[in-house]
Structure 1
Amino acid sequence: MSLLGKAAVAMWWSVRPEQRAEFGDWHSHEHFPERMSIPGFRRGSRWTSTENADGFFVLYELEQYDVLTSRGYLDRLNAPTPWSTKMMPHHLGMVRSQCRVAASFGGGVATSLATVRLSPETGQEAALQAHLSETLRPLTSQPGLTGVHLLLTDAPRTSSPTTEQQIRGADGAADWIILLSGYDSEMIERALADQLAPSALRAAGARDNPMIGKYRLAFTMTPNDAVAV
C-alpha cells in the first residue's frame, strides 16, 4: 500500500481473549467510522498479529501533520463515547506514535505486513535515513511485496494527556518505524532477513535490537466507507 497523506498514527497493543469479540465489534462498527469522520483522516487499517494471539497493530493515515492537533481530532480524544470509555482500559501495553511520513513507496492494500521499530545511533540520523530511503524503494518492485514506508515519530506538544490517554494509562512510543506490506508473507520474511536484517540496519547507523512484528490484515476503512456504515 502507499500511504494516503503526510502523517500517521501508528499503534500497537494487546487485547485479552475474553475481550476480543467485543473489541472487534466496537473497533469496526463505532471507532473506525468515528475516526474516519474527522477531517484529514484518509484511511484506517487494523492488523492482527501472526505471532502473538493477543496482539494488534493499527494505522491511521492522515492528510497533513497538523491533523494531529486539529480541533476535530482533539475533540474526539477528549470526549470518548460510552463504548470507547468501556473499551479503552482493555488496550494493554499501548504503544502510540504520532508520525511524519519520511518516505512512502508502492501502492494498494495488501494482506501481510511487517513493522520494524528502530532508533538511530546518536549522530547517525541523516546517514540512516538516506540509507533507508535508498534501500526501501526497490523493495516494492520485488515479487510478493507491494509497499514500504518510513515513519518518524514527531509527537506534537500538548499541555496534558487526553481523556482517552488518562483512561488507558501511560502510552509508550516508538521512534522510527518501517512498514513493509505484501501479498506473500514469505517474501516479507526474506526482506526482514536481508535488507532489513538487524545487522544491515546496525551497519547503516541504527541501534541494536529493532523490534519486529508480523501481521495480517483484519479490516480497513476510508471516509467513503464510513459514510455507508
Structure 2
Amino acid sequence: MTRSDYGTGLMAFWSDIDDDYLMRYQQWHNCEHVPERVSTPGFRRGRRYRCVTGAPHFLMMYETENPGTLASDAYMAKLNVPTPWTKEALTHFRNPNRGIYSIAHQEGEEGPFCATWITALRFTLSGEAGADAVRDWLGAIAAEAGIGRVQLWRADVATSGLATAERKIYGGSAAGDHLLLLIESMLPHAEQGDALHAGDRAAPPLAARKGEVKGQYWLELYHHSQAIYGGMQ
C-alpha cells in the first residue's frame, strides 16, 4: 500500500488467554472473529501478533479508515450483540487491555508484505514534545536497516471507555491517556530494539518516557478487506 492508503484509526487489544483454551481461541479468532470484524464498513485489516516473551500472549489490532469507524453504529452493533462463540471466547481472556487510537505521526513505508515482527511501546511523556522532535525520533527509528512503518498513535480516552456488551464479559479497565509506538519490521525483534535505541539517541527530549510498557511480537494472523486493494485477490 502507499502512504495514502493507510488508515488513521486503530484498535489494539492485549490479552492473555487461558492455557487450556488456547487452541479454541485461535480457531475462533481465525475463523470467525477477525473476518467478522474486518467485514465492518471502514475496517481495513486485522492482525494478531504473539508475544516473544509469552506475556501477554497476544496483541490483536484492527486498522480502520478513521477513528470514527471505531465508534460507528455498525461496529457498536457487533460489540453489543456478540455471537455465541464470541461470548464463550471472551470468558477466557485474562489481563485484558484495549485501546482506541488515532494516528499522531508516522515515518517510513510498509514493505511488500505485512510486517512479520513488531515492537509495541505504550507510554506517556513528561512534558510536551515539539512536532520536530517527534518527527526526528520516528525518522531515526525508520532509518534503521530492516525497519518499515513507524507509527505513533494517541489514545482516544472517550471512545476507549465506551461500555459494551463485550466489555462486560471480558472486564478490564479502559485505556487512559497515553501514546502507542509501533515499529514494524521484517527482521527479528533484536534489530527492532536497536532501532528504538537509535531513535532515543536522535531525540533526547523524547527519552523521558513514563509508565513505559514494551512488548515484542511476531505475526500469527492477517486478514485484509478486499476494498483496500481494489477488490483484487
TM-score bucket (shorter structure): 0.7 to 0.9
Structure 1 position 84, deviation (Å): 0.1
Which residue, out of 172, 178, 182, partners 1:179? Answer: 182
Read off the aligned partner of 2:135 and give its amino acid letter. S
1:223 Cα shift? 1.7
Unaligned runs of 5+ in 1: none
What per-residue deviation string (whole Å, max 9, x for no partner) do you get for residues 182-224 of structure 1? Answer: 1122320212333248xx8874264335111000000111122
Counterpart of 1:22 in structure 2 is 24
Cα distance in 1 between the residues matched to 2:215 and 2:160 = 29
Q: Unaligned stretches of 5+ in structure 2? A: none
* 3-state SS of 1:173 partner: coil
Distance 2:160 2:22 in 1: 31
Provide the rounded CA distance (Å) in 2 between the counterparts of 1:222 and 1:160: 25
Once residues 98 and 57 of structure 1 are traced to their aligned partners in structure 2, the CA distance between those partners, rounded to angstroms, is 13
Please state whether the residue corresponding to 2:115 is helix, strand or coil: coil
* Cα distance change, pair 103–14 in 1 and its aligned pair in 2 (3 A): same
The answer on 1:195 being equivalent to 2:174 is: no
* 4+ residue segments displaced more than 4 Å: 157-160
Q: TM-score, normalised by structure 1?
A: 0.86
Shift of 1:163: 0.1
Query: Identity, % of aligned pairs?
Result: 28
Distance change (3 Å), C-alpha of 1:201 and 1:19 = farther
Q: Distance in 1 between matches of 2:61 and 2:214?
A: 16
**Aligned pair 1:118/2:123, yes or no?**
yes
Identify which of 115, 132, 150 aligns with 2:134: 132
Amino acid at match of 2:156: D
- For 2:140 and 2:173, locate their aligned partners in 1 and report how far apart those are by CA, in whole Å: 34
Please give the alpha-carbon distance, in whole angstroms, between the structure 2 residues aligned to 1:159 and 1:52. 27
Distance 2:94 2:169 in 1: 12
Count of paired positions: 222
Counterparts of 1:78 and 1:206, CA distance in 2: 39
Does the 8 A contact of 2:140 with 2:199 survive in 1?
no
Letter in 1 for 2:153: L
